[in-house]
Amino acid sequence: MNPSDSPQYTWAGRFSEPMSEVVKRYTASVAFDRRLWRHDIRASLAHATMLARQEIISAADLADIERGMAQIAEEIETGTFVWSLDLEDVHLNIEKRLTTLVGDAGKRLHTGRSRNDQVATDIRLYLRDAIDDILSLLKQFQSRLLDLAEAEAATPLPGFTHLQVAQPVTFGHHLLAYFEMTRRDAERFVDCRRRTNRLPLGAAALAGTSYPIDRHLVAELLGFDGVCENSLDAVADRDFAIEFCGASALVMMHLSRLSEELVLWMNPRFGFITIADRFCTGSSIMPQKRNPDVPELARGKTGRVYGHLMALLTLMKGQPLAYNKDNQEDKEPLFDAVDTVTDTLRIFAEMIAGISTRPENMRDALRQGYATATDLADYLAHRGLPFRDAHAVVGLAVRHAEALGVDLSELALADLRQFSALIDEDVFKALTVDGSLAARNHIGGTAPEQVLAAIARARRK
C-alpha cells in the first residue's frame, strides 16, 4: 500500500506499527479543533491561491482545490462530513477528504506549509473573529448600561465603602462606573486584536520554506495586517491567546463584581432592583423563591476564565523553541474563554435591559447610616474650621443623633449648634441627600448633571 493511503496517511511512511488506540485518543484534537474548520479552509484557499500565483502549483490544481473545499464546507455545514479520530486533527481530516475528492491537487496543497504554521494561522483567524464578536457585544452591553444610567441619573442611593453607608451617590453614577471598566476592557481587546492579526503561514515547520512563496499576498488575502517576522516565533508562541485570556479574565472580573452587586440589590434587605423573571430561577422546595442564577453563574464562571489564563501561561513557560505538541493544549482553554465571555456579555446586555429599579427603597436606605455626615464636616470647613476639627465635631453630632435614633437632618438647629456655633439655618440644605449630590458637581462627580454629561460623552464615543 502507498504509505500516503494508510489511515495516518501523512506520516505513516516512517513507522513500523500503527499507533495504539489509547495514544490515538490521547494525541488527537479533532474532537475540539474541528471548530476551526472555516478558518482552516479559508487559510488553505489563500495558501493555494498564492502557490498558484507563484507557479508552485498549476491553475488546474488550484481550481480542483477550490472545488473540493467548497464541497467540504458544504458537507461540514450540513453535517454529512465524517470526522475521523484516525486523522488526528481538523487539518488532516480536511486534507484527507480533499485528496479523496480531487486527487493529486489535494496532496499538493501542503506544499511549503506545515501543520505548525497552519494551526497558528487558524487560531489567529478564529480569535480575530471572536474578538470582533466580543467587541460588538461589549458595545451592546454598554449601550444598555447607558440607557439605565440615564433613566436613573438622579436616583439617590447609599454609596458604600467597606459595604457600610458612606455617602449618597446616584444610581446612574454607580452604573457608569461599570461603563468605564468595560470601556477599558474593550480597549484591551482591540489592542490584543492588533497583535493577533499577523500571519504565521510561511514559517512552515519552523525554519521557513525553500519554495518561492509570497507571504505578503497570503496576509493580504486573509486580512492580516502583516506577517510574523520570525519563523520560529510564528509557530512557537501563543502569547496573543494568553493576552486574550488576560483581557477575558479582566472583563469577567468586572462582570463578577456587578453580579455580586445585583445579587445584593435583589435581596429584600436592599430591595433596590428586580431582575426580570426570565433571568431568574425558582426553587424545587421553597415556593416563594426567585433566585438570581444568571449573575451567580457569571460570578462562578469568572473562576474558570482565570483558570484558562493560568493554564495557558503554564503551557508556554517551559517550552523550548519552536513548536511543541504542548501547544495543542491551547485550544480548549481558549475556546472555553471565548464561549464564556461571549455568552456572559450577550446575556448581561439583555439582563441589564430587563432590570427594574425601586428608587423608593434606595432613598429609604439613605435614611440610615448618616450618609451626609461628610457634608456637615465640609460645611464647617467652609466656615473656617480646619477639616480635622470639623470631622471630630461631626463625629460627636452623629453619636448624639444615634442616641436619639434620628438622622442629622432631623436634629433641631439649637441641638446642632451645641456642637459648633458656626452652624446656621442653611445647614439643612447641606444635610439633605439632594444637596449632597448636587454639591459634587465636577467631572467624575456624582451630581445628576454630571451623570448626564458623562452619558452624553460616552454616547459620542
- Give the residue numbers marked as catalytic: 162, 283
Among 93, 99, 116, 302, binds ligand ARG (CB under 6 A): 116
User: Judged by CB, which is closer to ligand ARG: 205, or 398?
Assistant: 205
User: For residues 65-104, which are near ligand ARG according to CB under 6 A?
Assistant: 89
**Minimum CB–partner distance for residue 133 and ligand ARG (Å):** 22
CB of 62 to ligand ARG, least distance (A): 24
Task: Return the number of the residue (93 or 99) whose C-beta is nearest ligand ARG.
Answer: 93
Q: Is 14 in the site for ligand ARG (CB under 6 A)?
A: no
Nearest by Cα to 89 from 51, 118, 128: 118
| CB-based contacts of 404, cutoff 8 Å, min separation 6 | 411
What is the phi/psi pair of residue 206, to 5°? -170, -25
Q: Which is nearer to ligand ARG, 46 or 204 (CB)?
A: 204
Residue 324 Cβ, how far from ligand ARG at the closest point, in Å? 9
Tell me the three cell numbers of residue 102: 480531487
Query: Contact between 209 and ligand ARG (CB under 6 A)?
Result: no
Compute the least distance from the CB of residue 327 to ligand ARG, in Å: 5
Q: How far is the CB of 319 from ligand ARG (least distance, A)?
A: 12
With CB under 6 A as the contact rule, the residue among 231, 327, 340, 420 that binds ligand ARG is 327
Query: 13 or 395: whose CB is closer to ligand ARG?
Result: 13
Q: How many residues does the chain have?
A: 461
CB–CB of 275/332 below 8 Å? no
Contact between 119 and ligand ARG per CB under 6 A: yes
328 binds ligand ARG (CB under 6 A): yes
| Per-residue binding letters, 418-437, with ligand ARG (x by CB under 6 A) | --------------------
Nearer to ligand ARG, 243 or 330 (CB): 330
Residue among 325 and 460 whose Cβ is closer to ligand ARG: 325
Q: State the nearest-atom distance from the C-beta of 131 to ligand ARG, in Å.
A: 20
Closer of 154 and 315 to ligand ARG (Cβ):
315
Q: How many residues bind ligand ARG (CB under 6 A)?
A: 10
> Segment contacting ligand ARG (CB under 6 A): 63-71, 114-122, 374-382, 424-432?
114-122
- Binding string, 306-325, against ligand ARG, x = CB under 6 A? -----------------x-x
Q: Which of 42, 47, 115, 193 binds ligand ARG (CB under 6 A)?
A: 115
Nearer of residues 27 and 58 to ligand ARG, judged by Cβ? 27
Cα 392 to Cα 108: distance, rounded to the nearest angstrom:
84
- Residue 307 Cβ vs ligand ARG, minimum distance, rounded to whole Å: 20
Q: What is the distance in angstroms between the CA of the first residue and the CA of the last residue of the chain?
A: 64
Report the nearest approach of ligand ARG to the CB of residue 350 (Å): 34
- Give the binding range for ligand ARG (CB under 6 A) out of 113-121, 238-246, 394-402, 405-413: 113-121
Is residue 142 near ligand ARG by the rule CB under 6 A?
A: no
399-419: b or e for each residue (b if 16 or more CB lie within 10 Å)?
A: ebbeeeeebbbebeeebbeeb
Site string for ligand ARG, 33-72 (x = CB under 6 A): x---------------------------------------
Q: Where does this chain bind ligand ARG (CB under 6 A)? A: 29, 33, 89, 115-116, 119, 323, 325, 327-328
